[in-house]
Each structure stands twice: as C-alpha cells, then as structure tokens.
Chains A and B, each alone.
Chain A
Amino acid sequence: MTSRIDSMFQFHQTALNLRAARQELIASNIANADTPNYKAKDIDFASALQGAISGNGSKLQMAGTSNGHLNSASGDTVLGAPVQYRNVVQPSADGNTVDMDVERAQFADNALRYEASVKFVSEQAKDVLAALQG
C-alpha cells in the first residue's frame, strides 16, 4: 500500500525536482548576463521528465570523436537529462548568448509550473487523507 502511495506521488516529485534544477539553470543564465563568452543553457523539460519517469534516462548522445564535430550538449546532465545550449537569436560581440527577455520569460514560466506542481502534490495528499479518514 505504501508503495502505491509512493508511486502516486512519484510523478510530481520528479517533475518538481526537474523544475527546481531548470530554475537553477535559468538563474545561472540571468546571473551571467554580463559575463563574456557565457553560453545560455537549458534542458528540454518534456524529454527530461519522460526519461526520468520511464527510468531509462534520456536519449543517447552522439559521441564527439573529432574536434570538428559539433556538439549542442554542454556535457553536464541534470537528473540524467543533457544540459543543452540555447540557440542564439541575437548574438552579441562579447560571445555572450543570454537573451534577457527569453530568460526572464522562461524563469517566470518555470516558477509558475513549479507552483502548479506543488499544488497538485498538496491536493493529492489531501485526496489520500480523505480516503484514509473516510
């Protein structure tokens, strides 16, 4: 029975962990808005969640065996999901790829979805309590 309750909460638990990790990445982008040569980073949330839920991690990355191979991944991973560099819309002279509009929007979006997940977990807990108390 406990494992049933456990698995019931597992989805939102994983989602919250990923949201928090993504929040950290976007905070890092905003913090480094003035750092020369900093490349904005993010994760693909949908595939990261899918990978984390199914437990097989994310898709295999292509191996870079030569210096000439392009690599969109930074090499870091967040809960098994590869951290990728954002595509540049407006490049700047100092090599920084942080677009503050994009980052602020994504930060607000991610924060809202985090709060939504928190709400869902709370409601689920209430459901379990209601079932237990009758």
Chain B
Amino acid sequence: MSLFNIFNISGSAMTAQSQRLNVVASNLANAESTTGPDGKPYHAKQVVFSTASFAGQPGEGVRVAAVVEDSAPMKMVYDPKHPMADDKGYVTLPNVNPVDEMVNMISASRSYQNNVDVMNTSKALLLKTLTIGQ
C-alpha cells in the first residue's frame, strides 16, 4: 500500500534533517572551542545525504551517508594572552562559519516541516480511504 510507504519515506527524511540540525547545533555550540578531548580545536562537521531505497517501491527515502569534517581552513586569531596561543601568538579557532550554519539550520527546519506536512496529508488520505462505503 503506497500511502503507508510515505510514512517510511517522510520519516527517513525527518530523521536525516534532524540529524543535520543536530550537527548545526554542535557546530554553533563549539564555534569558539579552541580545544577538545584530543587537545585540538573543534572541526566543523557536515552531514552528507544520500537516497535510501526500500525494497520493491520506486519512492526513495533519505539517509545520512556520512558525517564529514568541514575542509575549510581553521580561523587564526592573533591573541598572545590566550592560553591556547602558539609561540607566535596565534590562536587556532574552529572553522565554523556562523552564517553557513544559520542558513543550514533554516533549510533543515523548512525541509523537516515539509515532510511533516507530507505525512499529515497522507494520514488524512488514509483516513478518508477508510470511510469508503460509509
């Protein structure tokens, strides 16, 4: 039954988008983290989406194929008084771009809402289908 498959499709998309939102939250929270458990500054992370096929149906869901580290160069700030400053007085700050992250956040939340809408419509259609013959 195709309409039930929509719950799988939209559900997978919502999971993927919320994971993206999670990564955005992590990036924004750690925008100033100059050191981590390994002693190195935080690296911005990004999710990679890919399609996820369900057996025997043409519609495809979404899955997060990988969470990769952003390849952008780290921010170097001159601040000799900073405890993490190197011998030249530069501090390595995470390569988090707050503008990119905010755009990512809005895009993720809009996509999430779209999928919620799709699910609600499908649910309404299924309920209508149950009233056939009444």
Contacts and interface: CB of A to CB of B under 8 A. Distances in A.
A102 interface: no
Given A31-B60, A121-B133, A125-B132, 4 more contacts: A21-B2, A28-B9, A31-B13, A35-B51
Per DSSP, chain A at the interface is helix
B60 A20 contact: no
A44 interface: no
Top 7 A-B pairs ranked by shortest CB distance?
A: A31-B13, A28-B59, A20-B2, A76-B58, A24-B59, A24-B2, A27-B6
A27 B59 contact: yes
Nearest to A39: B51
B22 interface: no
A33 B129 CA distance: 28
Interface of B: 1-3, 5-6, 9-10, 12-13, 17, 20, 48-51, 57-62, 107-108, 111, 114-115, 118, 121-122, 124-125, 128-129, 131-134
Per DSSP, chain B at the interface is helix
B50 A35 contact: yes
Contacts of A74: 58
7 contacts: A23-B2, A24-B2, A24-B5, A27-B6, A31-B9, A36-B50, A122-B132
